[in-house]
Structure 1
């Protein structure tokens, strides 16, 4: 059943609009209102890659947003689901999510749910998969043991190899996103016998920089490609979102000054999203590109 394009909340009427038609400044004002760290540049990046809707009031103010980010292999992530504080218990989020689900029919879906939104997603049929630990703080680099391998900077010539590793870890291809991320990031790779085995990206985001994605088959390799970014941002604000609760990589992140600030929950709809490891030697996403795109 089609979902209506307008909704009445108490004495206020809201209508849907395409996020592509909304100025970044208006979106930024909404995220500031809920204390999300996104800069205008972060919103511009997400708009360029994804699709979305906004809820506007009668005088054109943006009171809610919801986005989705189509990947390859019939998969998409959902993110940037925000409602103005005064509307958060009034059904606006459910109304926007009904529209998102209508427009993403036929796709497997994944998202990162805040504690406040988790109940909504459960009511829509999403399943819990894992906890994401949002780690951040002033970077403090301590030298680490480097595995016997080559650590080097990566560029566009390495994109195909990075995309292949990322797909093995992420569970869906996302070459367009990886291309955009690489253009905005410093990239570090680990090679053995001339073959890329792990990589990491680091880019400006929010209050400083964010490390992610980090893709590797084991903690040692993940640390090896993450440590250069920590060293490069010594004394600066750094963030990393990971599903690793324990183990050497999680310990390294904490020792680097990036303590757990918050958690969100990885959830999926229509099919499991194979983002949590288990098999020895399987590629894992040790750090998310962002909570919105996974």
Structure 2
């Protein structure tokens, strides 16, 4: 694989993302108006692997990351290029590097409108639309449906109690990813008959907080697993990424004032990513666009 590329008047070289100052990565995400703070970049570098495109004097013109989730699956994210590099094929060159590193793994990503044609040309297939809902959390929540079960907090050292449930909903074992996310997260679980049937996380991200993952068996459970965090975030900027556009859960988020600010497209390459079981657990809220 070509480790450098000449784009008209300048040459870019691929470097490991861990070898680049995080402030340069932060500046890159700011340039495309993405909300990632230096702390968010640091976490994602611990979770995954990636490359950056730099010129001869160390300026960063692009990034691309991938996140192993189980033995044969990975998600791709943080694919960012400056307008100058994008216009000259920098995005495709970065993706070629990442696809080579991923090898034979099945892949999934969430494509922005601008990047969608590139991913189609690389063989990715559309599966669903992700709605990025965000706003300041309300002081008072709308009426909630009856709670079926018991809600409680889960310490991060008991994460093993939710990993099997998550793997069934997500489709791959992402226990390592969850462990890294949970280090600075609050986790709530929903139990029925002494068995955990759903969970949700709340952590700082970007402009405020993100609620996700949210894993539940139905809309009503997902509402309660989200509401338990929203109650503690009143007056704070909050984000929930969900593929649910209609139904009780989507209506609840709309009633809280978390409007759809943007949409992206979930795409896969290899095996199909989203496979919902009847009456089985489902990912109602994403961990993040890069982690899905």
Same fold (TM over 0.5): yes
- Please name the residue that 2:154 is paired with: 154
SS in structure 2 at match of 1:232: coil
- Please name the residue that 1:239 is paired with: 239
Unmatched segments (≥5 aa) in structure 1: none
Q: CA deviation at 1:89?
A: 1.8
Aligned partners of 1:169 and 1:282 also within 8 Å: yes
Report the Cα distance in structure 1 between the residues aligned to 2:89 and 2:148, rounded to whole angstroms: 55
Alignment of 1:242-257 (within 5 A): 242-257=242-257
- Please name the residue that 2:14 is paired with: 16
Aligned partners of 1:33 and 1:85 also within 8 Å: no
- Please name the residue that 1:230 is paired with: 230
Report the Cα distance in structure 1 between the residues aligned to 2:13 and 2:148, rounded to whole angstroms: 58
- Please name the residue that 1:186 is paired with: 186
Report the Cα distance in structure 2 between the residues aligned to 1:146 and 1:175, rounded to whole angstroms: 31
Alignment of 1:163 with 2:169, yes or no, is no
Aligned partners of 2:148 and 2:221 also within 8 Å: no
Alignment of 1:129-144 (within 5 A): 129-140=127-138, 141-144=141-144
Alignment of 1:1-294 (within 5 A): 3-140=1-138, 141-275=141-275, 277=276, 279-294=277-292
Q: CA RMSD in A?
A: 1.0
Report the Cα distance in structure 1 between the residues aligned to 2:136 and 2:263, rounded to whole angstroms: 19
Aligned partners of 1:146 and 1:224 also within 8 Å: no
Report the Cα distance in structure 2 between the residues aligned to 1:85 and 1:29, rounded to whole angstroms: 14
SS in structure 2 at match of 1:291: coil
Report the Cα distance in structure 2 between the residues aligned to 1:237 and 1:33, rounded to whole angstroms: 21
Task: Judge which range, 148-157 or 176-185, deviates more.
Answer: 148-157
Report the Cα distance in structure 2 between the residues aligned to 1:145 and 1:273, rounded to whole angstroms: 30
SS in structure 1 at match of 2:91: helix
Q: CA deviation at 1:157?
A: 4.7
Q: CA deviation at 1:138?
A: 1.2
CA displacement, residues 146-204 of structure 1 (integer Å, 9 cap, x when unaligned): 32311111113531121111101111001111111111111111111111111100100
Report the Cα distance in structure 1 between the residues aligned to 2:280 and 2:116, rounded to whole angstroms: 29
Q: CA deviation at 1:142?
A: 2.5
Query: Which aligned segments of 4 or more residues in structure 1 are displaced greater than 3 angstroms?
Result: none
Question: Please, what TM-score do these two structures have when normalized by structure 2?
Answer: 0.97
Report the Cα distance in structure 2 between the residues aligned to 1:268 and 1:161, rounded to whole angstroms: 29
Task: Judge which range, 157-166 or 77-86, deviates more.
Answer: 157-166
Report the Cα distance in structure 2 between the residues aligned to 1:274 and 1:30, rounded to whole angstroms: 31
Report the Cα distance in structure 2 between the residues aligned to 1:143 and 1:237, rounded to whole angstroms: 21
CA displacement, residues 242-280 of structure 1 (integer Å, 9 cap, x when unaligned): 0001000000111111100000000000110125x3x43
CA displacement, residues 56-110 of structure 1 (integer Å, 9 cap, x when unaligned): 0111011100000001141000000000122222100000101111111110000
Question: Please, what TM-score do these two structures have when normalized by structure 1?
Answer: 0.96
